Structure 1
Amino acid sequence: MNKPGCRAGRRAREKRRKKHEGVSEVTLTHEAQFVLLRRWLKEKGFASQSLIPVNFHDTGRGLMATQTIKAKDSVISLPEKCLLTTRTVLKSYMGDYIKRWHPPISPLLALCCFLISERYGGDASEWSSYINILPKTYTCPVYFSDDIVDLLPRSLQKKATEQKEQFQELYCSFLMFFHSLQPLFTQPTEELFTQDALRWAWCSINTRTVYMEHDQSDYLSREKDVYALAPYLDLLNHCPNVQVEAGFNKETCCYEVKSVQGCKRFQQAFINYGPHDNHRLLLEYGFVAPDNPHSVVYVDLGTLKLCLDEQDKQLTQKLLYLRDNDFLRNLTFGMNGPSWRLMTALRLLSLKPEQYTCWKSVLLGAVVSRDREEWCIHNALKLCNNLTDDNVKALERVSLIKSVHS
Structure 2
Amino acid sequence: MGKGRTWRQRRRSKWLLQKKGGNGKETFLCQAEYVHLRKWMKAEGNFKSPHLIPYIFPETGRGLMTRKQLKPGDHILSVSDKLIITSDTVLASDIGHWIKKCEPPLSAHQALAVFLLSERTKGRHSFWYPYLHLLPDTFDTPAFWSAHILNNLPPAALAYARTSLENVRAAHVHVCTWCNLVCPHLAPQLVSEKNFFWAWYAVNSRCVYMEVPSSAFIQERNKNYALVPFLDLLNHSSDAKVSAGLNSATKSFEIVTCSGSRKYEQVFIKYGCHNNTELLIEYGFTIPQNPSNVYEFSLDDILIIAKNLNVTHLVQKEKIFLSNQFETGLNCIDDDVFFSWKLLAVIHILSLSWPKLQNWKSSVSTVSLFCLRGESKHLAMRLVQLAIENLQQHQSQNGKESTISCDKNHLSFHKKLCMNLWRDDFTILRKAQQILTQMT
Secondary structure of 1:160 counterpart = helix
Secondary structure of 2:399 counterpart = helix
Equivalent of 2:259, from 256, 261, 277? 261
Worse overlay, 119-128 or 371-380: 371-380
1:393 aligns with 2:392: no
Structure 2 distance, partners of 1:301, 1:323, is: 9
- What's the counterpart of residue 57 of structure 1? 58
Secondary structure of 2:327 counterpart = coil
Q: What per-residue deviation string (whole Å, max 9, x for no partner) do you get for residues 84-107 of structure 1?
A: 111111111111112233333222
1:283 Cα deviation after fit: 2.8
1:74 Cα deviation after fit: 0.8
State the AA in 2 paired with 1:24: G
1:375 Cα deviation after fit: 2.0
Matches of residues 73-152 of structure 1 in structure 2 within 5 Å? 73-152=74-153
Secondary structure of 2:205 counterpart = helix
Structure 2 distance, partners of 1:91, 1:78, is: 20
Return the TM-score normalized by structure 2. 0.80
Matches of residues 3-402 of structure 1 in structure 2 within 5 Å? 18-19=18-19, 22=22, 24-27=24-27, 33-45=33-45, 46-179=47-180, 180-183=182-185, 189-190=187-188, 192-305=190-303, 307-310=305-308, 311-312=310-311, 314-336=313-335, 337-353=338-354, 355-366=356-367, 370-383=373-386, 385-386=388-389, 389=392, 392-393=395-396, 396=399, 400-401=402-403
1:215 Cα deviation after fit: 0.8
Structure 2 distance, partners of 1:74, 1:286, is: 28
User: Which consecutive unaligned segments of at least 5 residues does structure 2 have?
Assistant: 1-11, 409-440
Structure 1 distance, partners of 2:243, 2:157, is: 30
Contact 2:17 2:23 in 1 (8 A): no
Secondary structure of 1:338 counterpart = coil
C-alpha change, 1:39 and 1:366, in structure 2 (3 Å) is closer
Contact 1:29 1:35 in 2 (8 A): no
Worse overlay, 71-80 or 96-105: 96-105
Contact 2:179 2:190 in 1 (8 A): no
Secondary structure of 2:349 counterpart = helix
User: Which consecutive unaligned segments of at least 5 residues does structure 1 have?
Assistant: 1-11
C-alpha change, 1:14 and 1:172, in structure 2 (3 Å) is closer
State the AA in 2 paired with 1:117: S
Contact 1:149 1:161 in 2 (8 A): no
Contact 2:76 2:257 in 1 (8 A): yes
- What's the counterpart of residue 8 of structure 1? none
Paired residue total? 390
Structure 2 distance, partners of 1:235, 1:402, is: 32
C-alpha change, 1:238 and 1:356, in structure 2 (3 Å) is same
Structure 1 distance, partners of 2:16, 2:154, is: 45
1:176 Cα deviation after fit: 3.0
